[in-house]
Structure 1
Amino acid sequence: MSRPRLALAAEPATPALPAVAGARYAWLVFALTFALLLSDYMSRQVLNAVFPLLKAEWQLGDTELGALGGVVALMVGVLAIPLSLLADRWGRVRSLILMAALWSLATLGCAVADSFGQMFLARLCVGIGEAAYGSVGIAVVVSVFPRHLRASLSAAFIAGGAFGSVLGMGLGGVLSAHFGWRIAFAGIAGFGLVMVALYYLTISEHRLRGLQQRVGAANGDAAASARQLEPRRIVRELLTVPSMLCACAGSALQLLVMAALLGWLPSFLSRDYGMATGRAGVAAAMLVLMAGVGMVACGALTDRVARRVPARKWQMAIAYSVICCVLLMTAFRLPAGHAQLVLIGAGMLVVGGTAGPASAMVANLTRPAIHATAFATLTLINNLLGLAPGPFLTGVLADHIGLTGALQWIPLAGAAAALLFCLGRRHYAADLRRLDGHAVPHVIPA
């Protein structure tokens, strides 16, 4: 874990990785863990591409469609911490493989669903499989790279959610237009099962642990194991860090905006622009792709700006939230047309910009031994406050004031996110000192 005196000043140079072979394996771990994250979000978001088809075939309302989208995030939120605790103790590689296999098989179950109830049950199982993947996966990624890359790598990894959403909506829209919505689910499930097999054959628990130990020594991290800590003590340690909780809650409210757009952009384009299902899915996927690119760019920019003064990560998160709120609230109040789409695209570039800074804050404010559980806390709050209510709340509002009306108000969550980041920034120095165990001079730039 980085010390406050290091985190609040220019970080010392650390070796990229202990050896060339280790570096190659680290990037292989990142690539395959990222590929499984793509599968995760492809399975989650393919549903959005077929909303119009399910609505017509099963005569569903927008609230019911929103529930099908929100139940996955709800399960992720409820189960993230307990399953991450188990993964820290049982083995992260084995846990990742089991999770991915479950959500892929559940997505296959969506392909054979014959009613709303069956689809809801299958989607619930998708959520159970995905529950701890984000937290455990990012814990694996940050454990095999130097600490000064945390915001960039966290943002790049989390951006896999946007890229997976692009593939899920785009591929789902094309497959459903040509072969029906059942083939769309089956195709996404097949990709997931192939990635599970590759991960199982390539990544080993023993080799990963050895690389983590070498990188941890280079980073100056403590070698304590989560197996030595009681779950109650871990949770108590996490829930007494005000700045981390503010970072998690701010991240969640910003992700509420992103989840609403991921869930409803295909329907918005279909209704307001008269696009067919396939074309609306592809167009929405292009807008979501901008969100993924923006996540990576915002993470890299944050690392660059905060390299010598890490507290600036808070300022960057505040800026991303405010800019996104202004752009999207303006966009959805314009009439359908080129100007509206340009502003929506600009808003999508920063809608996920807080993901990298928030993840880096969580990593900096907790010990490496409990990183998976720390990221599970972030995942839980992200899902319960953001990803789960985003699509559902938008659906409820849409049933009362129309989909466009709902999307005009949802971006206000970004303003609330900015306020939480401001509050967290005030507690950051004290929380770092408490983690280190002794006072460290700290000055937050104006």
Structure 2
Amino acid sequence: MRHGARPKNRMVRYAAVAALVAAPLVTVASIGQADQLAPPLGPCVGDCPNPFPIPPHNGPAAGTDNTINVFVGGSYTVEGRAAEVEGKVVTVKDLTVNKDGGGLFNMGVVGVGSQVAPPPGTDHVTVGGAVDVVTNNRVQIGGGDPARWGNLAYGTTESGTLEFSGPGAARQDPEAIEPYLGLGTVIKGDSTCMAEQTATGTLSVEGNLYTFTGDGHSMRQIFNVDRNIGSDTAAADIVFAGIPAGATVIVNMVGPDPVLIRTNTGSGFPGDQLTDMQPLLMWNFPAATSATISGGAQFQGSIMAGNSAGTLTVSTPGANGRVYVAGNLLQTGTAGTEIHAYPFNGDLPTCGQSPSPSPSPSPSESPSPSPSPSQSESPSPSPSETPEPTEEPTHGERPAPEPSRHKPTGPLAETGSGLVAPVAGAAAVLLGLGAVGVVLARRSRRRH
């Protein structure tokens, strides 16, 4: 096909991407510094509703978002009765849709979700390799209102039934994936960095009640969990306590393989604690070769998996947040598994001088006083599943995106716990730099 025709150009592009990803992150007095994920990852970019409709939402279109909602550094497989994935989807290798008994799988625009889709006329789905929609399956891109249309770009081959709303179409375009090839490295670095942070809180377990208790004041709450949450036979009820308003919450799943979160906590309805936490909640699987999120919940919060040779399986009725996987993604389940488009607005640590991992103490067999657990399940439509290894790992330091596109949130005092006091003789210099930083941050906010 179009392979091999322009090897020199390809090498130049790969070199440029590699150089961009390798660029060091410039920091100012950087111990304990925090940053939001930069476009095309993280917060919403576009006609963004504020606030996002509470999940799951089946009303009219609520806006547009050009940020990637699901990134897969390897292959993306849909099996079981998975139903849909909302928002912009990028997978570096292959996309395979092979649902049990066949049926429809929606991409980009969905029936129930945030109803914030990629901008009309853009690539709602970008696949670096092959697209295989197995016999008796159908994939629809765009949908509902014909004005909410989008395209599919793929790298090698395309087979099976693809349906588009409006003038949307599939096109073979091996170069479409190139701007995204460095993102697996970014995700690996961010995931590793989060796992290197010292815990600010602890996990306690009594029966099926898992209580995460923060320190009550840090604006980045870290939980390093060295065991599974729930089990193959019992779903966990999850509660958070001691979390300040506006704090980013990171749960590092650092236990041995295979790693499991099985929970029925998360309804998406008003008053649900995890629904309120969703935009600032990150579940991180830094090294797992096999990680699974299951149970009867509308799972709240974004998900990051840093092992480029690993596979993340999502089988909950809903997952509300970004899904960023350096390896493979399997979307499956028996009750219409859906991934909905919700941004991650939290601040992540930057590394280079971060402390080494410190797992939260193994859960005590005594309860931790806390609000009663949210439980509830939100069923959803149908389809999803299967993967394979990929991409090159990295470490620690986050590559530098364009500085003007970072969008810090909250005052300087809330950018992280454990900031060191400046040396007396440097106070004036740091004050001046701080003033410049505030101006740049305000300009950056206005751009979003």
What TM-score range do you get, normalising by the shorter chain? under 0.3
Q: Which has the higher contact order (CA 8 A, sep 6+)?
A: 1
What TM-score comes out, normalization by structure 2 length?
0.24
Q: Comparing both structures, which one devotes a greater share of its residues to helix?
A: 1
TM-score between the two structures when normalised by the length of structure 1: 0.24
Higher strand share: 2
